[in-house]
Structure 1
């Protein structure tokens, strides 16, 4: 270790600012642990912002007999909806019956289990549809006659990560993005950890326990730690890509499509004007920081959706694509689609002290449960309370009235905010309510009119909001703001994006 460096002491040090890392930091800080989290780039810059944006049970996981995972996921849908009603909302999915694939009775049986495994209370149950008579069948090709409609939830994935980071900070955690983990060694009675700050300065930490939630970098991070022979799990990196095209249909419903390769893809209304289609499952072995949707994947998604939609979908229709790397737990399955989406926590200790907990796999839907299990595994080594608290405590911005459904609470809150800030366009207020929940009041505090919002960068993005994101939510770059704190990158043109980047560069000086 480098001599002469000031050392910060903590109970728990977390590597990785994705959904699992921030979820663990939130849970740990809420149990009284002095917690530090570091992220090498921006929060949710990797896998956690490249999802299908779904809080779902995983209907196809039933085929692989992963009943525990499905049950836990189904239960979490309503838990997360209540915790963050501004970031999570219910969706209805249309599943057409394809005569050449799974029989209709198998689909109905799966959906029956889906309705009853998770103790559904608020979400609507499954029903059968005549796709030739029901308007929801209108976007589909005419030979699809029968279908099913079931419930799951949508989530703003990157904002969910930021909300967990904010919650951890609110409970006393030290949250650092753009700080690169270098290495860690077990030394005497402590983990001694080195981190590189944005300015190149080396910072040293001492910790009683270390969590490796580095996502696709989980094994690389393990190599930077002195481990015992007990750490033996491996990650299987699988790329999932999505495409965004101009809206293919009207209406709020989503579609679930089966494919001959036994994969399932989704078509989801996205950002008012678009349809999101995904995802793929492709083995990956490159640099997780340099990943994009390939031409073959784009063609695959266009063709798969085109088998169902009456409207042709061509690669040239794609206005945006993105890809992420899933660090799945390697369970030995040959087919990437069959590899478990469940999480696996690998605990390595030395002489019953100085634990290193590495996170493999997992999905956004079950991040909170993963964090609780992480706390249980670390409890013998830390001064920790085992009282679970995260499921009934709102995330920042989610503290809306609980005497009505989350959907009604959000609707009433939006109406109130539209009246209160009637000098701002109603669609902008709605977007801010969806993004920040009750924290919109902090964002607009002291502003009495449009003149107080400052520079307008385009599409309702004003200087006041950008300043808030820099000040309160760790945003530094235009990409942080346009693609993670929001999806306004789909709407701002190149000139507007450049103006935002220039403004941020001046502010950073």
Structure 2
């Protein structure tokens, strides 16, 4: 048995919901253990569309509570993490024959006023014949709308929550799979695949698409909520347009797709909604899904985009509450918290990265009877690590760091600001010349940064660094990637 005292709370699952709950609980004075079978954000939470958004299309399904909550969270998260969250304007070209103009305008009016917007600018109409956003579109798209949401580095959002939880005393154990969880003498007894044993007063099942599997295999009970597994796939292509706005495209099947400026030189396109069965770890984009996304681009953009233009693709599986609807895109993105038994087990279903903080608060509210001295909610006013600067202060921070570390290229300093924010000096320390950062690995990555990510952010493989702690995998050569892999053995 590792440790003589039981933890107050054990969380299984290192995605956004798991780390959000661990952070909230640790900040309220609970002793917390988080177990993750792989890497933080190793599945669904690094496979999102990278948006902090209210969900304009959810208004069609009358999910007003979810939309209101998500809209309000945009500016909370923008203030908490201005290095990895920033405002983004969305261009919605009007497509005759699909949703009528009045319906879109009404939806955007609600979107502007449901969430108490203070920072983000509101909706405006566009004449795409003269607006620069129209240059990339086919000539039949002459008008449209522009509104606000936010972009997020989803995997870094997970890691920063884990860092903050750890700074408040939480134990974060990656590559540690919980294989058995049983109620023994009024406590949860947990066994890991590596032979570790832990005890906890309360267990949280935040395993994402494995939520039902964990209940069946580790806990030995059936899931009380039916789960619908929905796969979302994305493709990344070379930059398709010169401006920094995002497009939201309607399609004739009722779905929508985004074309988002990505990592300065690329465009991210997604997502699909497709029912999925099988191991979520095996999810990948299919040729059919990629053809679908390319066809949406072909409907709207002047320049053709083909499969040969795809430089990266990824897919993730979302565990949504099954309400028996016929279309995957109609399944609710709202979250469900199921609490049962004593000692209690709280299982998390659904949710989206935008509302993870509110989900964590709701989880703590459900668990308050077991922790009568639980502290008050606190995360709404707290910065995430590296985010303690004004929401619009990234450029000022870049200039300060450029003056201090003038030997580092501007592009790399800009990446540091957008990844690590005010933690950048912790990474760079007193470095005064390139050699102080160790050997270069590729695309601005150095030995010092790799070592720092291993020491402070639980990075244990080349993939952890190239596709979750950063997206440098888009820029590094095959030889550079192989060298980094050899470094990890």
Tell me if both proteins adopt one fold, taking TM over 0.5 as the criterion. Answer: yes
Does residue 1:194 correspond to 2:178, yes or no?
Answer: no
Matches within 5 A, 1:346-385: 346-349=338-341, 353-385=342-374
> How many angstroms apart in 2 are the aligned matches of 1:237 and 1:188?
35
Does residue 1:291 correspond to 2:283, yes or no?
Answer: yes
Corresponding position of 2:58: 61
> How many angstroms apart in 2 are the aligned matches of 1:434 and 1:424?
15
Does residue 1:234 correspond to 2:234, yes or no?
Answer: no
Matches within 5 A, 1:68-87: 68-87=65-84
CA deviations 1:235-264 (Å, max 9, x no partner) are 210000000111111010000000011001
- CA 1:5–1:60 in structure 2 vs 1: closer, same or farther (change >3 Å)? closer
Displacement of 1:135:
1.0
Q: Contact 2:29/2:375 (CA < 8 Å) preserved in 1?
A: no
Corresponding position of 1:204: 197
> How many angstroms apart in 2 are the aligned matches of 1:6 and 1:389?
28
> How many angstroms apart in 2 are the aligned matches of 1:172 and 1:313?
49
Displacement of 1:228:
7.0
Q: Contact 2:178/2:218 (CA < 8 Å) preserved in 1?
A: no
Corresponding position of 1:14: 11
The list of structure 1 runs, each at least 4 consecutive aligned residues, that deviate by more than 3 angstroms after superposition, is 4-8, 224-229
Q: Contact 1:376/1:386 (CA < 8 Å) preserved in 2?
A: no
Corresponding position of 1:339: 331
Matches within 5 A, 1:346-425: 346-349=338-341, 353-401=342-390, 406-407=391-392, 409-425=393-409
Displacement of 1:432:
0.6
The residue matched to 1:289 in structure 2 has which SS? helix
Displacement of 1:227:
6.5
> How many angstroms apart in 2 are the aligned matches of 1:445 and 1:286?
46
Does residue 1:118 correspond to 2:115, yes or no?
Answer: yes
Corresponding position of 1:164: 161
Displacement of 1:8:
5.7
Corresponding position of 1:214: 207
| Root mean square deviation of aligned Cα | 1.2
Among candidates 94, 97, 100, match of residue 103 of structure 1: 100
- CA 1:11–1:366 in structure 2 vs 1: closer, same or farther (change >3 Å)? same
Displacement of 1:332:
2.0
The residue matched to 1:120 in structure 2 has which SS? coil
> How many angstroms apart in 2 are the aligned matches of 1:471 and 1:359?
30
Q: Contact 1:28/1:375 (CA < 8 Å) preserved in 2?
A: yes
Displacement of 1:455:
1.0
CA deviations 1:174-204 (Å, max 9, x no partner) are 00100011111111111111112xxx3x111
User: Unaligned regions of 5+ residues in structure 1, if any?
Assistant: none
> How many angstroms apart in 2 are the aligned matches of 1:396 and 1:290?
32
Corresponding position of 1:450: 434
User: Unaligned regions of 5+ residues in structure 2, if any?
Assistant: none
The residue matched to 1:92 in structure 2 has which SS? strand
> How many angstroms apart in 1 are the aligned matches of 2:163 and 2:2?
28
Displacement of 1:25:
0.2
Q: Contact 1:328/1:361 (CA < 8 Å) preserved in 2?
A: yes
Q: Contact 2:234/2:271 (CA < 8 Å) preserved in 1?
A: yes
Q: Contact 1:397/1:436 (CA < 8 Å) preserved in 2?
A: yes
> How many angstroms apart in 1 are the aligned matches of 2:445 and 2:273?
35
The residue matched to 1:224 in structure 2 has which SS? helix
